[in-house]
């Protein structure tokens, strides 16, 4: 669990895996800043987490250089940076039907955003600090209609390798989730969500779909381990094996 003196910035912390990580760190006495685009979702997260002054929120668009610069000017020095942010709505479609503006938005959210977080965040990290991004199973088990997400997840992992070298001794890593029951599935699968997740659960070696807490535990573990850098940690229930 977090130490009381620690300050962690979680981008995408207003829902899903990021919110689970925030709850985990706050329960250990740490200080957390969660950042995201929606002021309403940030306000709802504050109400859910109910952590008083140990929790701050910042509304920010991480795809915009000035916004990210402003974010770190506001947040100040941090111990760790974690990003679970992604906007992949509208990209799970056949290639022939792909609206390239949706693809650009997804790339901005999960590749350009992390680049800017590293650019402006690295100088704000305390010694021993780390940056952790999220990639995903699509980089290893791509499916029809998933070319954009597969490309993005592969790109973020390559970015991790490069930044771990360039920013050393800052540690840079990624956690690669498999299928996790988070709100993003509602926008991806709609009414088919429950059936799709149940079908995958039957296939997985662990016999179930991931939960946000599963990924939060992995994110915290990577963040804490001072001997992990330039690595991708897979938390996918064995999906790469099937």
pLDDT in tens, 82-108: 999 999 989 999 999 999 999 999 999
The strand ranges marked E within the chain are 7-11, 31-36, 55-59, 78-83, 125-134, 171-177, 232-235
Is 64 within the bounds of a domain?
Answer: yes
Is 83 within the bounds of a domain?
Answer: yes
Which pLDDT does position 191 carry in this prediction? 80
pTM for this model (two decimals): 0.94
- Over residues 131-142, the pLDDT tens digits come to 999 999 999 999
127 vs 183: CA distance, rounded Å: 35
CATH code of the domain in which 225 resides: 3.40.50.720
Which pLDDT does position 3 carry in this prediction? 47
Q: Residues of the chain whose pLDDT is less than 50?
A: 1-3
Query: What's the structural domain count of the chain?
Result: 1
User: How many Cα neighbours within 13 Å face the side chain of 121?
Assistant: 29
Is 51 within the bounds of a domain?
Answer: yes
149 vs 152: CA distance, rounded Å: 5
């Amino acid at each position: 669990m977090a130490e009381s003196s620690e300050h962690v910035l979680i981008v995408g912390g207003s829902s899903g895996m990021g919110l689970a990580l925030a709850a985990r760190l706050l329960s250990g006495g740490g200080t957390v800043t969660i950042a995201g685009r929606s002021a309403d979702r940030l306000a709802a997260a504050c109400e859910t987490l109910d952590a008083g002054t140990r929790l701050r929120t910042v509304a920010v668009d991480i795809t915009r250089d000035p916004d990210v610069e402003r974010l770190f000017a506001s947040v100040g020095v941090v111990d760790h940076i974690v990003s679970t942010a992604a906007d992949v709505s509208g990209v799970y479609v056949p290639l022939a039907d792909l609206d390239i503006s949706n693809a650009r938005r997804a790339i901005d959210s999960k590749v350009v955003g992390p680049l800017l977080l590293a650019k402006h965040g690295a100088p704000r990290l305390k010694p021993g600090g780390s940056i952790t991004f999220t990639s995903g199973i699509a980089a290893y088990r791509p499916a029809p209609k998933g070319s954009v997400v597969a490309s993005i997840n592969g790109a973020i992992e390559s970015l991790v390798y490069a930044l771990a070298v360039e920013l050393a001794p800052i540690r840079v890593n990624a956690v690669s989730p498999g299928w996790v029951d988070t709100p993003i599935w509602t926008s991806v699968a709609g009414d088919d969500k429950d059936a799709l997740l149940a079908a995958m659960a039957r296939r997985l070696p662990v016999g179930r779909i991931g939960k946000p807490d599963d990924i939060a535990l992995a994110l915290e573990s990577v963040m804490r381990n001072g001997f992990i850098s330039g690595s991708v940690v897979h938390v996918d229930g064995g999906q790469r094996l099937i």
